[in-house]
Amino acid sequence: MIKTLQHKYALSQQGAKDMVGAFAACTLAYLSLMFPVGLLYALVGDLLAGGIPAGRGVFYGGGIVLCLLAVFFTTYLQYNATFFATYKESGVRRIALAERLRKLPLSFFGKKDLSDLTSAIMADCATMETACSHWIPELVGAMVSTLLIALSLFVFDWRMALAALWVVPVSFTIILSTANIMNRKQQKQMQVKLAFADGIQECLETVRDLKASNAEAAYMAGLDEKIKNVEKYTVSAELGNAVYNGSARMVLKLGIVSTVLVGGALLQNGSLSVLRFFMFLLVVSRMYDPLISSLDNLSAIISTKIQTARLNEILEHPLQTGTETLANRGCDVVFDGVGFAYNSGEQVLRDVSFTAKQGEVTALIGPSGGGKTTVSRLAARFWDIDRGTITVGGMNVAHIDPETLMGLYAIVFQEVTLFNNSVLENIRIGRKSATDAEVIAAGKLAHCDEFAEKLPQGWHTTIGENGSELSGGERQRISIARAFLKDAPIILLDEATASLDVENETLIQESLSRLIQNKTVLIIAHRMRTVANADKIVVLQGGVVAEQGSPAALDATGKIYPHMKEIQQQSAAWKL
């Protein structure tokens, strides 16, 4: 049962156990509301028998107090078992999602966009929080308490019990029979909401380009259409839900009518006492209130199937695992017959083999789409390869825990990500335990001091969201400074100097030459002057190694590398 609840509602093990406790608490809370009915039944019985006997006043007075205490105590238990437990579980769920996302392979993120993941962590978690605090425990509590009350009604009079209860299975069948219809509506509603969220995010990220291209009006027209779709499908889903729920509620109300009619007929022919007739009317009026809420809860629970599936997609996605002990001998990176595809049928690499030796700079060059960036990502196990092997110092990277493996790598990406923090703290990402002096030293190696010391608060100046206060070259230098600070034995540089001017590129290359002593360096570059002094060049074209060797050897015998150099020399001579 615990495992079923965990999977069905994206709960932790403790959360599933707490939900079982919430079921029991809600059941007791609903049953406690029947205690006053029993007390009133006894009072009416005494009144019909001729009056309240002497000494019974204490019984009724004590009964009222006990009923109040029972309702108070069970309501207190229900509140703690539902709301408090759910809020705690909501925190656990969000942390679990964050931890899971941290450990998921990048192949998962390649199939998801930011708005989708944000919606799962925020909106889907909020929906499940409401479901676990309100809908699910209250539904189960109402059903269990109704079942117990129904059994007691059959003990009193099976005919009246049938008259009162026949509407319950009919009402719930109406809701359950619409589950597939409502799920389809909810799925479509989720799709248009995500499309709308994507549109908002894209608009905010590309507002500069939209303005520059005079494309704001056209883009906003498309965004308006997405808003109308959200409105359209939300209204449709709510209308469908209202029709089905309204029909089920109307059928449920017929139970009161059938109870009165059957009870009146039995009372008329003398087969039912007035007291029992009165008791059934009291019980039925009290019993239907939680059931009406349960119909709404059942409909809402059915609609959470999509949210649960989205959360479970994250929580149950396979992780990249491996040993946390490094057993490499040196840091030579060897690709041996590597094949890889991001998606089925989209082969990116085919039988790639080369060695990047420790203490040397290995440059990956070639036309766009040839697989250069993919090779660098696979070396750090951002994805798992389809065939072949990748080893570091003889150690198969596929057998190493990704976080442990990343301790061997310092990476400078082509697209820099910075945080809305100081220059100092952005560099410290490379090694969180570094002192200010060590961070500044790494920054100076990357020539960050040239702009950092001119800022209002120097190294402590906040640089805005994703470094919005800095130029592209300045942002790139912070990224390079992180690699200096981490001082890992393997360095991956993906167009690391692409955003730098010629002067700064020369300065950074001088700094890199000091950094790479006795290290394995894989550098991706499109400018041939950047790789002219590399120890080895690997030319990737069409997902295979077209040629490899030293720059001099490729100049003499190669075809692609000399051709690329010639083209770039011709373009360098081009003038307006």
Express each pLDDT in 540-562 by its tens digit. 988 899 899 988 888 888 788 88
Sequential DSSP letters for 50-85: TSPPTTHHHHHHHHHHHHHHHHHHHHHHHHIIIIIH
Looking at the chain, the domain(s) classified CATH 1.20.1560.10 span: 2-315
pLDDT at 499 over 80: no
Express each pLDDT in 237-250 by its tens digit. 888 778 888 888 88
Cα-Cα-Cα-Cα dihedral sign, residues 485, 487, 490, 491: positive
Cα-Cα-Cα-Cα dihedral sign, residues 348, 354, 360, 365: negative
Most confident of 80-84, 450-454, 515-519: 450-454
Most confident of 15-24, 132-141, 297-306, 452-461: 452-461
Least confident of 179-183, 186-190, 426-430, 572-576: 572-576
pLDDT at 513 over 80: no
More confident residue, 390 or 469: 390
Looking at residue 307, what DSSP letter applies? H
Residue-level pLDDT at 525: 80
What mean pLDDT do residues 142-146 have? 84
Q: Cα separations (Å) of 216 from 197, 213, 402?
A: 17, 8, 43
Looking at the chain, the domain(s) classified CATH 3.40.50.300 span: 333-572
pLDDT band, residue 576 (cuts 50/70/90): low
Find out whether 451 and 507 touch, Cβ atoms under 8 Å.
no
- Pick from 82, 80, 73, 81: which is nearest to 134 by CA? 82
Residue-level pLDDT at 344: 61
Sequential DSSP letters for 108-150: HHHT--HHHHHHIIIIIHHHHHHIIIIIHHHHHHHHHHHHHHH
Residue-level pLDDT at 93: 83
β-pairing, 347-356 vs 333-341, is antiparallel
User: Angle 49-52-55 (CA atoms, 0-180°, nearest 5)?
Assistant: 135
pLDDT at 271 over 90: no
Sequential DSSP letters for 203-253: HHHSHHHHHHTT-HHHHHHHHHHHHHHHHHHHHHHHHHHHHHHHHHHHHHH
Residue-level pLDDT at 498: 62
More confident residue, 521 or 287: 521
Q: Cα separations (Å) of 334 from 348, 356, 412, 549?
A: 18, 6, 20, 15
Q: Residue 21 and residue 89: Cα distance in Å, rounded? A: 13
Residue-level pLDDT at 504: 66
Residue-level pLDDT at 181: 81
Per cent of the chain over pLDDT 90 is 11
Express each pLDDT in 352-404 by its tens digit. 999 999 988 899 988 887 888 889 889 988 888 889 999 999 999 999 988 89
CATH tag for 2-315 (out of 3.40.50.150, 2.40.420.20, 2.30.110.10, 1.20.1560.10): 1.20.1560.10
What mean pLDDT do residues 257-281 have? 86
Count the Cβ atoms, other than its own, within 10 Å of residue 207: 12
Residue-level pLDDT at 501: 67
Residue-level pLDDT at 440: 93
More confident residue, 209 or 505: 209
pLDDT band, residue 508 (cuts 50/70/90): low
Tell the CATH topology of 333-572: Rossmann fold (3.40.50)
pLDDT at 568 over 80: no
What mean pLDDT do residues 220-235 have? 87
Strands of 347-356's sheet, edge to edge?
Answer: 347-356, 333-341, 387-392, 395-396
Residue-level pLDDT at 459: 92
More confident residue, 458 or 124: 458
- Return mean pLDDT, the chain: 84
The encoded tokens of residue 534 equal 């590399």
Express each pLDDT in 396-440 by its tens digit. 999 998 889 988 999 888 778 888 899 999 999 988 889 999 999
pLDDT at 468 over 90: no
